[in-house]
């Protein structure tokens, strides 16, 4: 029988994504040893207590020593600084990847910092929850979910293939595309929807106290689901919007035009326009279900409060 896919994996960042990768990699025996680190002593100590790593290093430089695969799971705009720190300590032949929700800016930040003989392949598991930190991780997070890899100038075909095998073994379905295309697609499937959730929940937070408590009391699935999404990590989402500025603004422009058309249809009692729009959107929903991205069950079959899968 062949051995694990990697001898040593290093995880930089031990939040929801880093801890879930460790747990899923352990489940599949994908490495002989999994090391990791996080910037704060508190997160490192908690990771030690939870025991999902073989070795908790004090520094990123220490964590990547002898690692064949390094995966960075920190807020997108912190990725460059992490790579600057680990670059001199990377083993020749190592594969470096990340889990960031935006890809073009990460590739742009990381590639110039890498030493020769090290491959970088951007990655984005399209799976997550609104929870963060090492306690939030679970081994099943990536099961049946997409992971997008974005090969670029510093990606060797062998590294892409190996990473593809890794994410498949973590439970994901893998697709490769350019970083720019990834960012455009995610802008409309994930980033703009999050902005809308932040905005609608923000609007409620500005309402006068009486109305606000009624909204909270009667929040049915619509508003309640927005509050769940708007509870996502503020730093992570600040970084996503600022790093994917062009694609988000492009999609937001289209969204605003369509919203104005809906506004006009309501003002003019144009029921036909509303019916046409709402019929087209039902077809999209059917497409999502047929693609295996959701189910017909109430609450999308989710166990409330547990692992609400989300597309970040």
Residue 306 in the binding site for ligand NAP (CB under 6 A): no
Q: How far apart are CA 216 and CA 30, in angstroms?
A: 45
Q: How far apart are CA 288 and CA 270, in angstroms?
A: 28
- Reduced to 3 states (helix: H, G, I; strand: E, B; else coil), residue 90 is coil
* Binding-residue pattern over the window 222 to 261 for ligand NAP, x denoting contact by CB under 6 A: -----------x--x---x---------------------
Nearer to ligand NAP, 32 or 307 (CB): 307
The footprint of ligand NAP on residues 65-84 (CB under 6 A) is 73-76, 78, 82
What are the backbone angles phi and psi of residue 31, rounded to the nearest 5°?
Answer: -145, 155
Q: What proportions of the chain, in percent to the nearest 5, are helix, strand and coil?
A: 55, 15, 30
- Could you tell me the smallest distance in angstroms from the CB atom of residue 216 to ligand NAP? 24
Which residues, in sequence order, are CB contacts of 270 under 8 Å at separation 6+? 264
Q: Which stretch binds ligand NAP (CB under 6 A): 12-20, 156-164, 214-222, 283-291?
A: 12-20
209 burial (CB, 10 Å; 0-12 / 13-18 / 19+) is exposed
The one among 122, 125, 151, 171 contacting ligand NAP by CB under 6 A: 125
Nearer to ligand NAP, 32 or 302 (CB): 302
| E strand or H helix that includes residue 120 | strand 119-125
- Could you tell me the smallest distance in angstroms from the CB atom of residue 269 to ligand NAP? 41
Among 31, 33, 36, 5, CA closest to 18 = 36
Q: Which stretch binds ligand NAP (CB under 6 A): 121-129, 201-209, 266-274, 294-302?
A: 121-129
Query: Rule CB under 6 A: which residues touch ligand NAP?
Result: 13-18, 38-40, 43, 73-76, 78, 82, 99-101, 124-125, 128-129, 132-133, 233, 236, 240, 310, 312
């Amino acid at each position: 029988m062949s051995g694990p896919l990697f001898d040593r994996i290093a995880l930089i960042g031990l939040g929801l994504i880093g801890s879930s990768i460790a747990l899923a990699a352990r489940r599949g025996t994908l490495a002989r040893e999994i090391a990791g680190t996080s910037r704060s002593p508190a997160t490192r100590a908690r990771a030690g207590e939870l025991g999902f790593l073989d070795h908790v290093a004090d520094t990123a430089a220490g964590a990547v020593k002898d690692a064949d695969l390094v995966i960075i799971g920190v807020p997108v705009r912190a990725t460059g600084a992490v790579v600057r720190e680990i670059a001199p300590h990377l083993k020749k032949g190592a594969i470096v990847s990340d889990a960031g929700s935006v890809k073009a800016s990460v590739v742009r930040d990381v590639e110039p910092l890498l030493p020769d003989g090290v491959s970088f392949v951007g990655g984005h598991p399209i799976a997550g929850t609104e929870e963060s930190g090492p306690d939030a991780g679970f081994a099943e997070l990536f099961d049946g979910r997409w992971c997008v890899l974005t090969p670029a100038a510093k990606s060797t075909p062998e590294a892409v293939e190996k990473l593809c095998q890794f994410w498949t073994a973590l439970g994901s379905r893998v697709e490769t595309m350019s970083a720019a295309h990834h960012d455009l697609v995610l802008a409309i499937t994930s980033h703009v929807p999050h902005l809308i959730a932040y905005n609608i929940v923000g609007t409620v937070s500005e309402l006068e106290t009486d109305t606000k408590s009624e909204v909270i009391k009667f929040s049915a699935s619509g508003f309640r689901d927005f509050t769940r999404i708007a509870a996502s990590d503020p730093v992570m989402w600040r970084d996503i919007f600022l790093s994917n500025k062009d694609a988000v603004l492009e999609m937001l422009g289209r969204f605003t035009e369509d919203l104005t058309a809906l506004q006009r249809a309501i003002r003019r009692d144009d029921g036909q326009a509303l019916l046409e729009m709402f019929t087209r959107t039902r077809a999209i929903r059917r497409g999502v279900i047929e693609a295996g991205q959701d189910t017909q069950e109430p609450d999308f079959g989710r166990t409330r409060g547990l692992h609400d899968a989300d597309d970040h």
